[in-house]
A and B are shown apart, each in its own frame.
Chain A
Amino acid sequence: MSNVVLQVENLHTSFFTRLGEVKAVDGVSFYVREGETFGIVGESGCGKSVTGLSIMRLLPEPGGEIIEGKIILEGKNILELSKKAMRAYRGKMISMILQDPMSSLNPVYTIGDQISEAVKLHQDLPDNMVEAEVVSALRLLRIPDPEIRTKEYPFQLSGGMRQRVVGSIAMSCRPRLLIADEPTTALDATIQAQYLALFDDIQAKTNVAIIFITHDFGVVSRICDRVGVMYAGKILEAAPTRDIFKAPKHPYTKALIDSVPRLEVKDERLYSIEGQPPSMFRLPPGCRFRPRCPVAMDICGEQEPPEVKLNEDHAVSCWRVK
């Protein structure tokens, strides 16, 4: 088994609002190996982005708080780090790409300024070395004419190019772990395909571990090695991508995959999961998917199902799975 870069154990993150506590992440565990891409799939509000921000320790303040759990990066529990030590980790050890390329760059600085900021924060380099690092970061994301791009402002670039610049910033210090939060959702189909191909490339060159957060099974199928399916704050099933598609075990996973129209075949009618995801203020007792589950049993409404390990890489939380 190759080197585990990140191990998340029993992570609980809550938001404290006027209406009460929202358990946005409610006991999530997973790991990512070196050079591997772990996908977190789920619908909006399932806690996938909060999981990403928890690992960065950048939860929105006030309100967001990590209640318990361990986030072990390269053998060190980063929840024990001081704020200052954590800042030194960000960018250097872990980095992140956000969804919207239009708003994640500072409009008043050039591309070169923004990448060199990231470089200078973690390395004490003379100016010409910084410049070389900036250009190499742009090259890593295959940005054409990097020397010209460094002098341009974000508004002069297309969405796809901006997102590559965001990727360059994130990768500028060659972190061990990269969290990508829906990085291709705002991009057009052919540009999205280009961007996804870059991830393979980056991974081959740097062996970075990637957590890929998305709602799109098409994207998952393309770049993830393993996937965790998240619902209402919990990972209900985690397995290698092929198993998730070919042999899903959890009813939610099955339903979700069946409800996505396929390009390869003409469906006469899509399978649809009735109802809505539960309110995060009032989770149902027992299994959180039970109110929408087509195969629910009595016990599902009484007790939360334990996680069952089918093999080393495949874990399911469902009373139907033994």
Chain B
Amino acid sequence: MAKVLLEARNIVKHYPVTRGFLQRIVGWVRAVDGVSFSIEDGKTLSLVGESGAGKTTIAKQILLMEKLTSGNILFQGNDVYKFSSAQLKKEYRPKVQSVQQNPWSSMDPRMRVREVVGEPLSVNTKLSKKEIADNVGQLLEQVGIDAEGMNRYPHEFSGGQRQRIAVARALALHPSLLVLDEPVSALDVSIRAQIMNLLKDLQIQYNLSYIVIAHNLATVRYMSHSVAIMYLGQLVEYGESEALFEKPLHPYTRALISASQLTLPEDAKEGTKQIILSGEMPSPLNPPSGCRFHTRCTEVMDICSKEIPENKVIGTQHVKCHLYR
């Protein structure tokens, strides 16, 4: 079994909501509410959910942009909150890098590609300009961009090429984990496949671990080894990708899969299972009682609004649903 690189243990992140004259705290947005998962060396974990599910909040916690309300993040077995700031700077931050969703806004338009990709190096290392330029050249070639391109500006490249440049920048410090926030959703269909294939190649080549944040399940299946399905700040189902897609257990997972399938209209009209959920995602300020999904669930029972379902392990899958007791 591969080594666990990063582990989240029961992480919780609540944001205060304040109001009025004295900025009283009137409530808490429970963005992430007790989530645990782990990522192995060289593997991909996908966090899947709709907006408001808390997946971006988790990414922020892993990148240490915010501090958790409670819970632990372990990196190679060590609690990151116990790292000294020097340790963080040397042993954590360079090892955990990210690629943003939008390749148009994630780069300073006034910087040349050389500076964009070389920035992590000039900030974190004492390399000379020449050495940095050499490094940048190699990085660009790894992602399929001609090294000559380093003297041009980001706007001279297409969306797909920019996303490649963003990947090159993320690789500059030889990270072991990349947080990929919707890495292909801003790109055109024909370009998406190029980038996904590139990411897969790089993973094998450098034994990289990925956390992919995505809403498109087909993309997720193609990219990941394990999948975590999130709803309103909690994991409803979590497990190995293959098993999960072959035999989804949670009704929400099934609905998501049904919504992402290619279904020809003739097939749909013949009454194949097209699950359409009613209603909208409730507010994370005031989540429903019991199972948070019960207000929209197709299989809802009496118990669902009363009791919070326990985590149940079935095969390689973890599921939180009263259907499995």
Query: Do A and B have CB atoms closer than 8 angstroms in the complex?
Result: yes
- Interface status of B190 (Cβ within 8 A of chain A): yes
Q: Which residues in window 246-292 of B have CB below 8 A to A?
A: 255-266, 268, 274-278, 280-281
Q: For the complex, what is the distance from the CA of A193 to the CA of B263, rounded to whole Å?
A: 12
Give the chain A neighbours of B190 by CB distance below 8 A: 43, 255-256, 259, 272-273, 277
- Interface status of B324 (Cβ within 8 A of chain A): no
- Interface status of B215 (Cβ within 8 A of chain A): yes
Interface flags for A211-240 (1: CB within 8 Å of B; 0: not) read 000011110011111000000000000000
Q: For the complex, what is the distance from the CA of A49 to the CA of B275, rounded to whole Å?
A: 30
**Contact flag A44-B218 (CB < 8 Å), given A193-B276, A241-B264:** no
Interface flags for B182-197 (1: CB within 8 Å of A; 0: not) read 0000001111111011
Give the chain B neighbours of A311 by CB distance below 8 A: none
The answer to whether A191 and B50 have CB atoms under 8 Å apart is yes
Q: For the complex, what is the distance from the CA of A242 to the CA of B274, rounded to whole Å?
A: 18
**Contact flag A189-B276 (CB < 8 Å), given A259-B193, A263-B217, A267-B222:** no
The answer to whether B265 and A222 have CB atoms under 8 Å apart is yes
Q: For the complex, what is the distance from the CA of A217 to the CA of B190, rounded to whole Å?
A: 12
Give the chain B neighbours of A216 by CB distance below 8 A: 189
Tally of contact residues, B, Cβ under 8 A: 44
Interface residue tally on A, bucketed by range: 35 or more
The answer to whether B221 and A263 have CB atoms under 8 Å apart is yes
The answer to whether A259 and B218 have CB atoms under 8 Å apart is no
- Interface status of B138 (Cβ within 8 A of chain A): no
- Interface status of A76 (Cβ within 8 A of chain B): no
The answer to whether A197 and B276 have CB atoms under 8 Å apart is yes
Give the shortest distance, in Å, between B216 (CB) and chain A (any CB): 8
- Interface status of B134 (Cβ within 8 A of chain A): no
Give the chain B neighbours of A192 by CB distance below 8 A: 259
Give the chain B neighbours of A267 by CB distance below 8 A: 222
Give the chain A neighbours of B218 by CB distance below 8 A: 218, 260-263
Best-buried of A160, A189, A267 by chain B (most CB within 10 Å): A189
**Contact flag A276-B160 (CB < 8 Å), given A215-B189, A222-B268, A256-B190:** yes
The answer to whether B262 and A264 have CB atoms under 8 Å apart is yes
The answer to whether B280 and A158 have CB atoms under 8 Å apart is yes
Q: For the complex, what is the distance from the CA of A208 to the CA of B256, rounded to whole Å?
A: 29
Contact of A263 among B200, B245, B296 (CB under 8 A): B245
Give the shortest distance, in Å, between A143 (CB) and chain B (any CB): 12
The answer to whether B197 and A272 have CB atoms under 8 Å apart is yes
Q: For the complex, what is the distance from the CA of A268 to the CA of B215, rounded to whole Å?
A: 20
Q: For the complex, what is the distance from the CA of A246 to the CA of B67, rounded to whole Å?
A: 51
The answer to whether A266 and B262 have CB atoms under 8 Å apart is no
Best-buried of A190, A221, A225, A266 by chain B (most CB within 10 Å): A190
Q: For the complex, what is the distance from the CA of A171 to the CA of B108, rounded to whole Å?
A: 43
- Interface status of A194 (Cβ within 8 A of chain B): yes
The answer to whether A221 and B262 have CB atoms under 8 Å apart is yes
- Interface status of B131 (Cβ within 8 A of chain A): no
Give the chain B neighbours of A89 by CB distance below 8 A: none
Q: For the complex, what is the distance from the CA of A269 to the CA of B194, rounded to whole Å?
A: 10
Q: Which residues in window 170-208 of A have CB below 8 A to B?
A: 188-194, 197
- Interface status of B219 (Cβ within 8 A of chain A): yes
Contact of A245 among B262, B278, B281 (CB under 8 A): B262
Give the chain A neighbours of B275 by CB distance below 8 A: 193
- Interface status of A274 (Cβ within 8 A of chain B): yes
The answer to whether A189 and B242 have CB atoms under 8 Å apart is no
Give the chain B neighbours of A273 by CB distance below 8 A: 190, 193-194
Q: For the complex, what is the distance from the CA of A276 to the CA of B197, rounded to whole Å?
A: 16
Closest A residue by C-beta to B257: A263
Closest A residue by C-beta to B160: A276
Q: For the complex, what is the distance from the CA of A68 to the CA of B190, rounded to whole Å?
A: 30
Contact of B277 among A43, A190, A217 (CB under 8 A): A190
Give the shortest distance, in Å, between A220 (CB) and chain B (any CB): 9
- Interface status of A270 (Cβ within 8 A of chain B): yes
- Interface status of B158 (Cβ within 8 A of chain A): yes
**Contact flag A218-B260 (CB < 8 Å), given A158-B280, A261-B221, A270-B197:** yes
Give the shortest distance, in Å, between A290 (CB) and chain B (any CB): 15
Q: For the complex, what is the distance from the CA of A215 to the CA of B296, rounded to whole Å?
A: 29
Give the shortest distance, in Å, between A44 (CB) and chain B (any CB): 6
Give the chain B neighbours of A189 by CB distance below 8 A: 50, 215-217, 256, 259-260
- Interface status of B51 (Cβ within 8 A of chain A): yes
The answer to whether B263 and A222 have CB atoms under 8 Å apart is yes
Give the chain A neighbours of B222 by CB distance below 8 A: 261, 266-267, 270
Q: Which residues in window 276-315 of B have CB below 8 A to A?
A: 276-278, 280-281, 296
Give the shortest distance, in Å, between B311 (CB) and chain A (any CB): 23
- Interface status of A281 (Cβ within 8 A of chain B): no
- Interface status of A56 (Cβ within 8 A of chain B): no
Would you give 18 A-B contacts (Cβ < 8 Å), ordered by A? A43-B188, A160-B280, A189-B50, A193-B274, A217-B262, A221-B263, A245-B264, A259-B190, A260-B193, A261-B193, A261-B218, A263-B218, A263-B261, A269-B197, A269-B200, A270-B197, A272-B193, A272-B194
Residues of A within 8 A of B (CB): 43-44, 158, 160-161, 188-194, 197, 215-218, 221-225, 241-242, 245, 255-256, 259-264, 266-267, 269-274, 276-277
Residues of B within 8 A of A (CB): 50-51, 158, 160, 188-194, 196-197, 200, 215-219, 221-222, 242, 245, 255-266, 268, 274-278, 280-281, 296
4 closest cross-chain pairs (CB), A and B? A188-B50, A272-B193, A259-B193, A261-B222
